[in-house]
Amino acid sequence: MSVLPDIEKIRADFPILERKVYGRPLIYFDNTATSQTPRCVVSAVEEAYYSRKANVHRGVHCLSQEATDAMENARRRVARFINAESETQVIFTRGTTEAINLVASSYGELLEPGDEIILTVMEHHSNIVPWQLLKARKDIIIKVVPIKDDGTLDMAVYRALFTERTRLVSVCHVSNVLGTVNPIKEIIDIAHDRGAVVCVDGAQAAPHIKIDVTALEADFYAFSSHKMYGPTGIGILYGRKSLLEAMPPYQGGGEMIGHVSFSGTTWAELPFKFEAGTPDYVDAAAFSAALDYIDSIGLEKIDAYEQELLEYATAQLEEIPGLRIFGHAPHKCALVSFVVDGIHPYDLGMLLDKLGIAVRTGHHCAQPLMQALGVEGTVRASWAVYNTREEVDTFITALRRAVSMLS
């Protein structure tokens, strides 16, 4: 029996699953890019706009106070979800991308020319380009950890890359292409032993794995709401308090100031120092509702169920002639990237779409990894709590049909 016996009840929480695409029931297997949203999260957005829309932290009137309470309750909710020591370490951003850019821009100001940063070949562009921009500004050195044939990091090379000038490691917790779950605690411990700070891109981990930033001893941890059944356009940067206090502001404007005069300005306390302007307090509250939804099912149950789907799908994919899967790490999250010899991934994706099945094709914002794998792109199927074995069966049948048409 599945670890989620009430799957139909769960599916009923997501109205989009009732729609059809090209006359066929929608099968949504693009969850690594963004997940769908349950009714309770949309209701939280509606409630905020219809009952307490007012600017936060600035008004003495009732609506402003209620909006402020909702936003700060959401901050505390996130802190509990990741086991942060204090909600002041939780900064609202527009997503993982902005969170990493914040670290690169603000913590990056503390670096000197010749300082070194370690990345990995499996990083999303959002965890490559901000550091390249920093390199252009500060003349830092970027080093890259390769992967082994099974899609795991070469930890021996990782250890060997450190020198006395290594200041920071920035690494994904889970690869958005390979599904590899990196040994993030070991990566952090090695870096700390050598005096380096670690920034973790947790965008693909947070929807599937229980994150405990205190146990990990993470310096920075970034993730996004929209991959966790929440609204788009909002994310989180967790930071170690001493580092956040030492960093200059990311942006200037209202809310992030203590006092402004033309002779000089002082900064607000954490976390407001890094939240310039009117924040997205509506989606902050909705993200809190999404975390409640995840906890109502149980993240461990969600992960176990998704692993069932991963194993079930992988076994059938491996039976298709000419199909090659990238990423065979012992510990993976629920996604599979593959190619079929002689067929362009885009063509497969287009045919699957016509059959009502949404998958992702292309380089998945990981072009350096594609170069390392020796391909231009892949087809990626990824699963969430509302997907089913029956959908996997339909996907496999459709894929076999598409392969036969394109061969």
**Cα–Cα distances in Å, from 124 out to 33, 171, 175, 208?**
12, 9, 8, 18
Residue 272 within any structural domain of the chain: yes
Query: Other C-beta atoms within 10 Å of 178: how many?
Result: 30
Identify the domain boundary among 295, 323, 352. 295
Residues 231 and 369 in one domain: no
Give residue 222's pLDDT band: very low, low, confident or very high (50, 70, 90): very high
Cα-Cα-Cα-Cα torsion 197, 33, 231, 86, nearest 10 degrees, comes to -20
255: nearest Cα among 228, 235, 275: 275
Return the pLDDT at 257: 80
Whether the pLDDT of residue 113 is over 60: the answer is: yes
> What are the backbone angles phi and psi of residue 405, rounded to the nearest 5°?
-75, -30
Q: Tell me the pLDDT tens digit for each residue of 9-57.
A: 999 999 999 999 999 999 999 999 999 999 999 999 999 999 999 989 8
- pLDDT tops 80 at residue 4: no
Beta bridge partners of 116: 141, 166
SS3 assignment, position 233? coil
- Statement to judge: residues 332 and 279 lie in one domain: no
Q: Which segment of 81-85, 207-211, 267-271, 305-309 scores lowest on mean pLDDT?
A: 267-271
Q: What is the DSSP letter of 258?
A: E
CATH number of the domain where residue 114 is located: 3.40.640.10
Using a pLDDT cut of 90, give the percent of the chain over it.
91
Indicate the SS3 state at residue 254: coil
> In this structure, are 220 and 336 located in the same domain?
no
* 35 domain residue, yes or no: no
User: Which residue range forms the structural domain that includes residue 306?
Assistant: 7-30+298-406
Whether residues 186 and 101 share a domain: the answer is: yes
CA distance 139 to 152: 30
Residues 71-110 pLDDT 10s:
999 999 999 999 999 999 999 999 999 999 999 999 999 9
**CB neighbour class for 322 (10 Å; exposed up to 12, middle 13-18, buried from 19):** exposed
What number is the average pLDDT over the span 182-191?
98
Same-domain status, 254 and 330: no
Block residue for tokens 């990626």: 380
37 in a domain, yes or no?
no
Could you tell me the CATH number of the domain that includes residue 333? Answer: 3.90.1150.10
Residue 203 sits in the same domain as residue 271: yes
The string of pLDDT tens digits covering residues 245-294 is 999 999 888 888 888 888 888 888 899 999 999 889 999 999 999 999 99
pTM, whole model, 2 decimals? 0.96
pLDDT over 90 at 59, yes or no: no
Q: Which two tokens stand for residue 130?
A: 């901000």
* Domain annotation covers residue 1: no
Evaluate whether residue 68 is within a structural domain: yes
200 has a pLDDT exceeding 60: yes
Q: For 224-239, what is each residue's pLDDT tens digit? A: 999 999 999 999 999 9
In the chain, the number of structural domains is 2
Give me the residue label for tokens 């059938």.
316
- Catalytic residue list contains 365: yes
Position 258 scores a pLDDT of 82
User: How confident is residue 1, by pLDDT bands cut at 50, 70 and 90?
Assistant: low
pLDDT of 3 strictly over 90: no
Domain C-terminal end among 295, 319, 345: 295
**pLDDT averaged over every residue in the chain:** 96
Residues 398 and 377 in one domain: yes
Q: Is 23 exposed, middle or buried, given 0-12, 13-18 or 19+ CB atoms closer than 10 A? A: exposed
Q: Which percentage of the chain shows pLDDT scores above 70? A: 100
pLDDT value at position 353? 97
Q: Are residues 182 and 61 located together in one domain of the fold?
A: yes
Query: Looking at the structure, do residues 104 and 243 belong to the same domain, yes or no?
Result: yes
Give pLDDT, residue 263.
Answer: 86
Whether residues 63 and 145 share a domain: the answer is yes
The whole-number average pLDDT for the span 107-124 is 98
**Is there a single domain that holds both residue 259 and residue 380?**
no
Distance between CA atoms of residues 88 and 239, nearest Å: 9
Structural domain contains residue 70: yes
Give the model's pLDDT for residue 351: 97
From 62, 172, 199, 365, active-site residue? 365
Q: How many CA atoms lie within 13 A of 8 on its CB side?
A: 1
Q: Which of 272, 295, 318 is the last residue before a domain boundary?
A: 295
Asked, for residue 330, whether it belongs to a domain, the answer is: yes
Q: Which residues contact 117 (CB under 8 A, 6 or more apart)?
A: 131, 134, 140, 141, 142, 143, 166, 167, 168, 169, 170
Residues 288 and 302 in one domain: no
Whether 220 is covered by a domain: the verdict is yes
